[in-house]
Amino acid sequence: MGSDRSVTRDTAPRAPHRLPPGQRHVHGWPVSHYGPVPRFRPERWNLRVFGATADGNERTWTLDELTVLPRVTVVADLHCATGTTSTDHEWFGIAGTTFLDLAPPAPEVTHVMAWAEYGYTANLRLGDLTAPETLLATHHNGELLTAEHGFPLRLVVPHLYGYKGPKWLRAVEYLTEDRRGFWEERGHHNIGDPWTEQRYAHTEQENHGQGADTP
């Protein structure tokens, strides 16, 4: 990793360690997701961008092609919308902005859908993907991601609840209008800002973030 252009950005406020409202700290790093852990098949794996790309074409990358891209380090906490926060994760991977530069969206794109194995999805505002702390992570605390935490690629969006960061990321779809993802369709908030407790869809009217989030 030494030859990569690494930038450390620490989004976790240090002293005192601040947690979003209604969250409790958990030690270590629990595993939580819906469904089974997918098996990685290198010969079949790729990362795909589709939808409203600038040139109208889809694009795919193999894992080898992704791992030669410039990468960054981000230290951040992980807030699950069920109320647990695990702290001080050191992520390493491809910045969201680097990904956007490689695969520019059409000017009308406002949102993206992040797709994982088995059809898990999370919708994000385009600005969530280009936020300075967002990355497509390949490593955690200096090691490759483990299978249960998302190997080989995981989207990390530290400023939103954990459900907005798919493990086992396989595609990014550019959207010209918002569309709800897996948990967003199942009662979770469309934006998912932990600092204003956007856990549940029923609070969307009274408690919405910036942007056109209300369907």
Ligand X SMILES: Nc1nc2c(c(=O)[nH]1)N[C@H]1C(S)=C(S)[C@@H](COP(=O)(O)O)O[C@H]1N2
Stretch that binds Mo ion, among 50-58, 149-157, 161-169, 170-178 (CB under 5 A): 161-169
The Cα-based distances of 108 to 24, 161, 162, 168 in angstroms read: 39, 26, 27, 27
For Mo ion (CB under 5 A), the number of binding residues is 3
What is the nearest approach in angstroms of ligand X to the Cβ of residue 105?
22
* 80 lines the binding site for Mo ion (CB under 5 A): yes
Q: Rounded to 5 degrees, what are φ and ψ at 164?
A: -85, 0
CB of 2 to ligand X, least distance (A): 26
Residues 6 or more apart whose CB falls under 8 angstroms from that of 97 comprise 130, 132
Q: Is 192 in the site for Mo ion (CB under 5 A)?
A: no
Contacted entry of Mo ion, ligand X, none for residue 116, CB cut-off 5 to 8 Å set by kind: ligand X
**Measured distance CA(179)–CA(215) in Å, rounded:** 8
Cβ proximity to ligand X: between 52 and 116 the closer is: 116
Please state the length of the chain.
215
Task: Give, as ranges, the residues between 2 and 61 that touch Mo ion (CB under 5 A).
Answer: none
Pick 73 or 123: Cβ nearer Mo ion: 123
Binding footprint of ligand X on the chain (CB under 6 A): 29-34, 78, 80, 116, 120, 149, 162-163, 165-168
**Are the C-beta atoms of residues 154 and 165 closer than 8 Å to each other?**
yes
157 contacts: CB under 8 Å, gap ≥ 6:
124, 128, 129, 131, 133, 134, 164, 165
Per CB under 5 A, does 162 bind Mo ion? yes
Structure tokens at 125: 């505002």
User: Least distance in Å: CB of 115 to Mo ion?
Assistant: 18
Residue 37 site contact among Mo ion, ligand X, none (CB < 5 to 8 Å, cut-off depends on kind): none
Nearest distance in Å: CB 183, ligand X: 7
